[in-house]
Amino acid sequence: MGLGMTAVIDDTKSTAQGLMLAEELLSPAETTKKSHLAWLIWGVSAAFVLFQFFLQLSSGEMVGGLMKSFGLTALGGGVLASAYYYIYVALQTPAGMLMDRYGPRLLLSLVQWW
């Protein structure tokens, strides 16, 4: 084993010891509270994913009705349906930059109350 591997193993041990110490300092009530918060954050994240999935699928169902209501041709209906995806693609970069800078926990917590 080289010197590099020893440093990695030592760092892993100190990290594991730090985690064990942090868990020992928390009371059972605090641990339960953190567990509930973690499940809440997971639930909000899952709800956003399902909502986004629903929005992607719903445009295909609405195109027929929108074409009749607005008297659109197939080309007009396709442009209308694709407008959602163009906006979605354009906002992926800013959303990714916000996620990288602030993290998903903060952003999902803020969006939950918006």
Count of domains observed in the chain: 1
What is residue 63's predicted lDDT score, i.e. its pLDDT?
86
What is residue 28's predicted lDDT score, i.e. its pLDDT?
66
If phi > 0 it is left, if psi is from -120 to 50 it is alpha, else beta; for residue 103 that is: left
Query: What is the 8-class DSSP label of residue 26?
Result: S
Per-residue pLDDT tens listing for the chain (114 residues)? 445 444 444 445 555 555 555 556 666 667 777 788 888 888 988 998 999 888 778 877 888 888 999 999 999 988 988 888 899 899 999 999 999 999 988 888 887 776
pLDDT digits (tens, 9 = 90+) for 26-47: 666 677 777 888 888 889 889 9
Domain around 61: 3-112
Give the tokens for residue 13. Answer: 């041990």
- Rounded CA-CA distance 98/80 in Å is 28
Beta-carbon contacts of 98 under 8 Å, excluding residues fewer than 6 positions away, are 107
